[in-house]
Structure 1
Amino acid sequence: MDVVIAGYGRAGEMHARLLAARHGLRIVGVTDQTTARRAAAAARFPLAATAARLDELNVRADAVVACTPPAHHEADTRIALTRYRAHVLCEKPAVLDARVGRQLTRAAAEAGLVLQPVHNYLQSPAITELQQVAARSIGRVNRVTITINRTEPATGHAAWQPGWRTDPAVGGGILYDHGPHACYLACHLTDQSAISVRCATTAGEHGADHSAHLDVRLANGSSVAIKLSWHGSTRENSYQLSGEHGTVRLRNGQLELTTPTGTYRARTEDHSIGGHTHDRWIAGVHQTFLEHTTGTHPRNEHWKDAVHVAEILAAARASAATGRRWISLSHAHRTT
């Protein structure tokens, strides 16, 4: 399989490294806006073509991995589908506009191509363990609370814009950075879709949201609270499921189950730590993607999840702009 990497920052470099290590895969093209990053890609993959943009690259590709900033994902995905007729694996948030996401769904289906977002937290063994413990011990989940704290925004590659995550013009802000993970995990852990959202945000550098508090109503009547911040005193990833018979919480590698009979604790994978853990998750994303591309019936259910995430985040932004009122997803619109 011949693969093009669109965007050779930190994420693009990671995807390229892991994919190139797989048997039968070749990196045949790399795009990046900066001369320095194109030079780095050429040094690492001397047989690959390089260009500033995806529509300037002249290669044949079976798959494109979109690792550009969020504001470019929709255009890069469309180019991959229409010009390259290639399967697409796209970093989160895969789309910002749910209507565009559905258009891309139809285009991929007509061409028999796979669309898949990088929802890498679904590959986490700790999330699987959290879900299994909840299913065994607490009954129906009626409340999900997700808290993500960072002491500052993650930095991008120094060759381009290290602070791009705080630039709304390229899709910066904590809602687009940590919001997608929280939203698809909440829906996954409850097996429910969202029907309405309210949200409050606080702005920081360049006007991007640096903190956000979302309340989400789910289709079965359950609720979700999501709290995101780049101003935490420490790094924290916390996921709590509350049910009829107790609660189970995963926080920084500690899994804690509380029921009427007592409290039980166990150590597991720590989401607040990066590095090799996330490499394993991305390798799992790649495996799923490759299995779908080689199947006779490409499955794009994860892309539907990405479109739903876009609906949730659009509603959240609309709510934040109108005094934290509840927004039905049927009335959500894109806020730019």
Structure 2
Amino acid sequence: MKKLRIGLIGVGGIAQGRHIPAFLQLSDICEITAVSDVNSERALAIAEKHSIPYVFADYRDLFSKVDAVCICTPNKFHAEITIAAFEAGVHVLCEKPMALNADECEAMINASQKAGKVLAIAYHYRFMKEAQAAKKVMGEVGTPLVVRVQALRRRKVPGWGVFTNKDLQGGGSLIDFGCHLLDLALWLMGNPKHIEVSGTTYNALSRIPDQVNQWGTFDHESFNVDDHVTAYMKFENGASMLFETSWAANIKDDVANVSISGVTGGINVFPLELYTSKNGMLLNSGAPWLPGEDDPDLPQAKNFINACVGLEELVVKPEEALQVSQIIDRIYESGRNSL
């Protein structure tokens, strides 16, 4: 099989820490042939480090050297670059969230369908061993009733990059971190249609001077994105979701988890546990061993490459990523007056 030629657009932290190492490990089926970044020195350094032959200041010039691109830019540019890639006949793996809002997501999907090219969104939590195993045993849960999602950090506002820039990112803890666990929960539920969404957004802690923050420094005076969000959702199948995410909250420990109570059983994802009642007993069961990769980046990259060449279906379908953005939009709309 001919190797898929891949280009990276944006070579900051997420590209260097997640996508480039994964693609390099899959050198038997792909090769990184080009990079582009607004920081030309960084792009050149990355190209030199990994022996990548082409470096471009304008990402549009990159398309002629690749079959697919991985977009790792601030959220504001996801839709623009994705659509340009499809117009050039190139497959796309786009970092999460899919875009700034649902309208942009729909435009991306339309462009993908028109071009007949793959559009994948990097919700890598789905590729974790626990998540893959949970999906396989959702039959033990039966029809989901109540879903609890927690994506909580005690004091970890990202103090680097543009994470707290509302114009470039569209929001804070919800659109950056909470979206991962929201996507995972929806996927495990089977992506039922949401019919009601209400939410509240906060940033009081991050606007206090001299806050303790484990992930660098930021300007508390100009901080205008959410650092804590709560939401409640109802779905057409009768299920409900209790959702909470934070970068900064007065809690004991960080938490990243999804738990689902269904008609015939319950499941906790991190760690993976099943809760049932059988033979007159209440039973809890765990998994002492799970198949799969310890690093979700590798199966995510492999699924994208194989989808591009027609060997696999995408694990993260763009229509499902669109639903995540639709819910995020509604949470922000509901919580608009709370910041």
Q: TM-score, normalised by structure 2?
A: 0.82
For residue 115 of structure 1, what is the aligned residue in structure 2? 119
Question: For structure 1, which segment, 256-265 or 30-39, has the greater mean C-alpha deviation from structure 2 after superposition?
Answer: 256-265
Matches of 1:164 and 1:243, distance apart in 2: 39
For residue 173 of structure 1, what is the aligned residue in structure 2? 172
Picking from 140, 143, 168, the partner of 2:143 is 140
Mark the CA change 1:299 to 1:243 in structure 2 (over 3 Å): closer, same or farther: closer
- Computed over aligned residues only, the root mean square deviation of the Cα atoms, in angstroms, reads 2.7
Contact kept, 8 Å, 1:145 with 1:224, in 2: the verdict is yes
For residue 257 of structure 1, what is the aligned residue in structure 2? 275
* Structure 2 runs not aligned, ≥5 long: 207-219
Contact kept, 8 Å, 1:153 with 1:165, in 2: the verdict is no
Please give the residue correspondences for 1:41-120 in structure 2 after superposition, counting only pairs within 5 Å: 41-57=46-62, 59-82=64-87, 84-120=88-124
Question: For structure 1, which segment, 68-77 or 49-58, has the greater mean C-alpha deviation from structure 2 after superposition?
Answer: 49-58
- State the shift of 1:179 in Å: 2.6
- State the shift of 1:200 in Å: 0.6
Picking from 221, 235, 241, the partner of 2:254 is 235
For residue 331 of structure 1, what is the aligned residue in structure 2? none
Picking from 219, 226, 232, the partner of 1:215 is 232
- State the shift of 1:174 in Å: 0.7
For residue 213 of structure 2, what is the aligned residue in structure 1? none
1:29 correspondence with 2:34: yes
For residue 196 of structure 1, what is the aligned residue in structure 2? 196
Contact kept, 8 Å, 1:49 with 1:59, in 2: the verdict is no
Question: For structure 1, which segment, 3-12 or 34-43, has the greater mean C-alpha deviation from structure 2 after superposition?
Answer: 34-43
Question: For structure 1, which segment, 194-203 or 97-106, has the greater mean C-alpha deviation from structure 2 after superposition?
Answer: 97-106
Look up the SS of the partner of 2:198 in the other structure: strand
Equivalent position amino acid for 1:115 in 2: L
Picking from 119, 141, 162, the partner of 1:164 is 162
Mark the CA change 1:16 to 1:175 in structure 2 (over 3 Å): closer, same or farther: same
Matches of 2:276 and 2:38, distance apart in 1: 50
1:16 correspondence with 2:16: no
Mark the CA change 1:120 to 1:132 in structure 2 (over 3 Å): closer, same or farther: same
Contact kept, 8 Å, 1:197 with 1:312, in 2: the verdict is yes
Equivalent position amino acid for 2:81 in 1: D
Picking from 7, 10, 15, the partner of 2:10 is 7
Contact kept, 8 Å, 2:174 with 2:246, in 1: the verdict is no
Matches of 1:62 and 1:104, distance apart in 2: 18
Mark the CA change 1:233 to 1:269 in structure 2 (over 3 Å): closer, same or farther: farther
Contact kept, 8 Å, 1:179 with 1:313, in 2: the verdict is no
1:151 correspondence with 2:150: no
Greater RCO, 1 or 2 (C-alpha within 8 Å, sep 6+): 2
Equivalent position amino acid for 2:281 in 1: T
Contact kept, 8 Å, 1:126 with 1:268, in 2: the verdict is no
Matches of 1:240 and 1:150, distance apart in 2: 18
Q: TM-score, normalised by structure 1?
A: 0.82
Matches of 2:162 and 2:43, distance apart in 1: 19
Q: Percent same amino acid among aligned pairs?
A: 23
Equivalent position amino acid for 1:140 in 2: T
Look up the SS of the partner of 1:106 in the other structure: helix
Mark the CA change 1:228 to 1:322 in structure 2 (over 3 Å): closer, same or farther: same
For residue 334 of structure 2, what is the aligned residue in structure 1? 319
- State the shift of 1:47 in Å: 4.0
Matches of 1:57 and 1:294, distance apart in 2: 20
- State the shift of 1:282 in Å: 1.7
Mark the CA change 1:241 to 1:301 in structure 2 (over 3 Å): closer, same or farther: closer
Mark the CA change 1:55 to 1:134 in structure 2 (over 3 Å): closer, same or farther: closer
Q: Deviation per CA, 1:224-252, whole angstroms, max 9, x where unpaired? A: 1111012243221121111224432234x
- State the shift of 1:115 in Å: 0.5
* Structure 1 runs not aligned, ≥5 long: 157-161, 271-275, 325-336
- State the shift of 1:300 in Å: 9.4
Matches of 2:126 and 2:334, distance apart in 1: 27
Equivalent position amino acid for 2:152 in 1: N
Equivalent position amino acid for 1:291 in 2: N
Q: Deviation per CA, 1:116-155, whole angstroms, max 9, x where unpaired? A: 101211112212333444422x432111001111133364
Contact kept, 8 Å, 2:130 with 2:272, in 1: the verdict is no
